[in-house]
Amino acid sequence: MPESSENPVSAAGGSFDIVILGGGSGGYACALRAAELGLSVALVEQDKVGGTCLHMGCIPTKALLHAAEVADAARDGEQFGVRASFEGIDMTGVNAYKDQVVGRLYKGLQGLVKSRGITFVEGTGHLVSATTVRVGDAEYTGRNVVLATGSYARTLPGLEIDGGRVVTSDHALHLDYVPRSAVVLGGGVIGVEFASVWRSFGAQVTIVEALPHLVPLEDESSSKLLERAFRKRGINFELGARFASVQHTATGITVSLENGKSFDADLLLVAVGRGPVSDNLGYTEAGIAIDRGFVEVDEFCRTSVPGVYAVGDLIPTPQLAHVGFAEGILVAEHIGGLAPRPIDYDGVPRIAYCEPEVASVGITESAAVQRYGEDKVRTLTYDLAGNGKSQILKTAGAVKLVSVADGPVVGVHMVGARVGELLAEAQLIYNWEAYADDVAALIHPHPTQSEAVGEAHLALAGKPLHSHG
């Protein structure tokens, strides 16, 4: 059922406490929290409520990654004493499963918007003043306006996306076949996740990354562990290599690099990041300060124009759905007069859901050295080889802690299967400024991977148990 029949819609405009332009994670979170606080809300969305995360990002990609995990389990069952056979990937079935997950969550979100009495406006919005959003011929006026127009998949100058042989993650989510081979341009989170999926599905994959490491925003130790694991899985990569050109061939494409190397493949996935959707929406005309496409904001997500806020991928904060979600809540509570605490972006948990997973919270070792000085930084790495549950799962990796000498833990960096599930504790450790001794005193259940977090803190506190050396 279309959204317009599920949610209240005003065709003639109106006045509200808040008008929100964009219904992604940041926009709908702001709408739900504001309505909960008794504020009247109009939510303007040109496509589907839920935005990139629900429809083109977090949820569908993780569904693909779970299908990939099932494929690996079927293929590798013999090492666990389970006789199983892997016959191939049915992309029609995979896509049906993925779409079913998205559909159920979408229906639930529609119901939430309706139940909170939010006026949902389906259409393309344009900011015409600091207080007004126009949709078609109707104008929606707000005591406050929140910009939440999200992001788009970037490409490189001169690199044309055709949606067939040269694709973005948006196109890759809807492929009805498994490519025999693929080149992934970009070794960030999006790139390594699709490389992981396609390799599990049976494709030959080569990642091209201009920076010296995969997942370059992570601690270097995590990058190296992922690179080691990818080599073992047969995922190839070229690091410190810049893209030069792509040529279409009779069977696919040829990707050439500036270092003279070239690669033939069925398709090229362009995964060089996402850019803010801010052009031609009236932002500049309304006086809103913008830098390289991103709307500039303060710690409460206020723009340069009083009464106008911006959240999510539109602003230069981490492009993560849960960040946009938190910013939306922050803005709603700020408008509602609750005096919320600004977000500590170092304390936001981050995960790349490839196999193995890369998970972190806090700052890297190099950032800690810059902030506190080399003589004030302590690190401890606990190898998952000493963790019973990790051995049961046959996963390799590590938990690395970064701390201030005689001070709190300021970074937790993990690589291994399912380590993203350990971030709940890790973010409490960082955000509550816990010392190693504080965590070492806690009892972790056995056998679990969470013990690796506990063992790492025991070692950092000077009383290692299952640590060698």
| Catalytically active residues, by annotation | 446
> pLDDT band at residue 2, thresholds of 50, 70 and 90?
very low
> pLDDT band at residue 468, thresholds of 50, 70 and 90?
low
Tokens of residue 33, six digits: 């929290």
pLDDT digits (tens, 9 = 90+) for 123-152: 999 999 999 999 999 999 999 999 999 999
Tokens of residue 355, six digits: 């196999």
Selection from 133, 102, 315, 142 nearest residue 330 by Cα: 315
Q: What is the pLDDT of the chain when averaged over all its residues?
A: 95
pLDDT, position 11: 52
- Dist CA 20 CA 310 (whole Å): 9
Domains 3-55+93-152+275-345 and 166-272 share a fold: yes
> pLDDT band at residue 13, thresholds of 50, 70 and 90?
confident
pLDDT, position 45: 96
pLDDT digits (tens, 9 = 90+) for 272-306: 999 999 999 999 999 999 999 999 999 999 999 99
Residue matched to tokens 């839920």: 50
pLDDT digits (tens, 9 = 90+) for 195-212: 999 999 999 999 999 999
pLDDT, position 93: 97
For the cut 90, the answer to whether the pLDDT of residue 3 exceeds it is: no
> pLDDT band at residue 464, thresholds of 50, 70 and 90?
confident
The CATH number of 166-272 is which of 3.50.50.60, 3.40.50.300, 3.30.420.10, 3.30.420.40? 3.50.50.60
CA angle 28/34/37 to nearest 5° reads 145
CA angle 18/343/43 to nearest 5° reads 20
pLDDT, position 8: 46
Peptide bond into 447 cis (omega under 30): yes
pLDDT digits (tens, 9 = 90+) for 347-404: 999 999 999 999 999 999 999 999 999 999 999 999 999 999 999 999 999 999 999 9
Average pLDDT of the segment spanning 315-323: 97
Tokens of residue 444, six digits: 């972790």
Which class is domain 356-460?
alpha beta
pLDDT digits (tens, 9 = 90+) for 413-456: 999 999 999 999 999 999 999 999 999 999 999 999 999 999 99
For the cut 80, the answer to whether the pLDDT of residue 1 exceeds it is: no
Kindly list the domain boundaries of the chain, sorted by start residue: 3-55+93-152+275-345, 166-272, 356-460
- Dist CA 385 CA 383 (whole Å): 5
Q: Which residues contact 66 (CB under 8 A, 6 or more apart)?
A: none
Give 4 or 466, the one with higher predicted confidence.
466
CATH superfamily of 3-55+93-152+275-345: FAD/NAD(P)-binding domain (3.50.50.60)
Q: pTM, whole model, 2 decimals?
A: 0.94
Q: Are strands 350-352 and 357-362 parallel, antiparallel or unpaired?
A: antiparallel
pLDDT, position 467: 67
Residue matched to tokens 């997500």: 301
Selection from 193, 192, 203 nearest residue 239 by Cα: 192
